Structure 1
Amino acid sequence: MSDDARLIANHRVHVVPVVLALANPPWQRDVWLHPSAFEDLDHVFHVLFDDFCDADEPERYLGVSLRTDEEVVLMRQLGAALNAAAAEAPDDTDAEYLQAPAWPEVVAIAGRLAQVMVANDLRELAALLDDPAVPDPYQTAPGTGLAAVLVPGDGP
C-alpha cells in the first residue's frame, strides 16, 4: 500500500463512521443522548472540523480524507448544515441539535455523503484486490493462512 493510500485510509477510518452516524437518526437517539455512551456529537464535530477534515473548507482534504470532488462538495454542504444546526442549539446539547429545525437537512446531506464515500471506498477496495501486487487471500500456499486453520486433519 502506498503512503498516500495509507494516509487516506487512516483518515477515512474516522470520517466515514461519523458521516454514517450523522445519517442515522436511530443511532443518534440511542447513542448520543445517553451520557455513558462512547460517542457524542462533540466527537463528530472534532472529527469533521478539527482532527481529520475541515467541513468549512474541505478542499484541502481532497486526497487526505476525501477521495473526490463530489465528496468535497457534499462535505462543504454538511459543514454548512451542521453550522446552521449549531446556531439553533443555544445550549450546545446533543438533544438540542437533534431537535433543531436544520437537523433533517444534516441527516439528508450526511446520507448522500455516506453513500458516495462508501461507494468510493468499495471501488478503491475492488481496484486494490485487482492489483497483481496484492496477494489473493484465496490463493495462499498450503499450510498457511486461514485455510490451514479451518481444514481439520491436515495439520501436524
Structure 2
Amino acid sequence: MDDDRLITARVRIQLVPAVLALANPPWQRDVWLDPSTFENLDHIFHVLFDDFCDAEHPERYLGIGLRTEEEVALMRQLGAALDTAGTEAPGETDVEYLRAGSWPQVVAVAGRLAQVMIANDLLELLALHEDRVAAEAPQ
C-alpha cells in the first residue's frame, strides 16, 4: 500500500465512525448520554472539525480523508447542519443537540455521507485486492 493510501486509511478510521455515530440516533442516546463512556458529541466535533477534517471547509481534505467531490459536498452539508443544530443548543450539551428541531437533518445528511464513504471504501478495498491479484499473477 502506498503512503497516500495509508494516510487516507488512517484518517478514515476516525472519520467514518464519527459520521456513523451521527447517523445513528440509538447510539447517540445510549452512548453519548451515558457519562461513563468516552465518546460524546464533543469527541465527534473534534474529529470532524479539528483533528481529521474541517467540516466547514472540507475541500482541503480531498485526497487525504475524503475520497471524492461527493464526500466533500456531503461533509460540507453535515458541517452546516451541525452548525444549525448548534444555534438550537445554547448550552452546547449533547441533550440539547439531540433535542434540536434540526437534529433530524444532521442524522439524514450523516446517513447519506456514511453510505457514500463506506461504498467508496469498499471500492478502494476491491481495487487493492485486484492490484494484489494482478501483481501475483504469473506473467
TM-score, normalised on structure 2?
Answer: 0.95
Aligned twin of 1:148: none
Deviations 1:91-117 (A, max 9, x none): 110000000011000000000000000
Aligned twin of 1:82: 82
1:133 deviates by: 6.8
Measure the CA separation in 2 of the matches of 1:58 and 1:27: 25
Percent of counterpart pairs with the same letter? Answer: 68
- 1:50-61 to structure 2, matched below 5 A, reads 50-61=50-61
Runs (5+) with no aligned partner, structure 2: none
Aligned twin of 1:72: 72
Aligned twin of 2:92: 92
- Whichever structure has more helix as a proportion of its residues is 2
1:134 deviates by: 8.3
Report runs of 4+ in structure 1 exceeding 2 Å deviation. Answer: 132-136
Q: Which has the higher contact order (CA 8 A, sep 6+)?
A: 2
Measure the CA separation in 1 of the matches of 2:65 and 2:57: 13
**Larger-Rg structure:** 1
Residue 5 of structure 2 is aligned to residue 23 of structure 1:
no
1:62 deviates by: 0.1
Residue 113 of structure 2 is aligned to residue 110 of structure 1:
no
Q: What amino acid sits opposite 1:9 in the alignment? A: A
1:17 deviates by: 0.2
Measure the CA separation in 2 of the matches of 1:128 and 1:115: 20
Residue 34 of structure 2 is aligned to residue 37 of structure 1:
no
Measure the CA separation in 2 of the matches of 1:135 and 1:15: 30
Deviations 1:27-80 (A, max 9, x none): 000000011112000000000000000000000000010000000000000000
Measure the CA separation in 2 of the matches of 1:134 and 1:64: 26
Paired residue total: 136
1:132 deviates by: 3.0
SS of residue paired to 1:63: coil
Runs (5+) with no aligned partner, structure 1: 137-156
Root-mean-square deviation over aligned CA pairs: 1.4
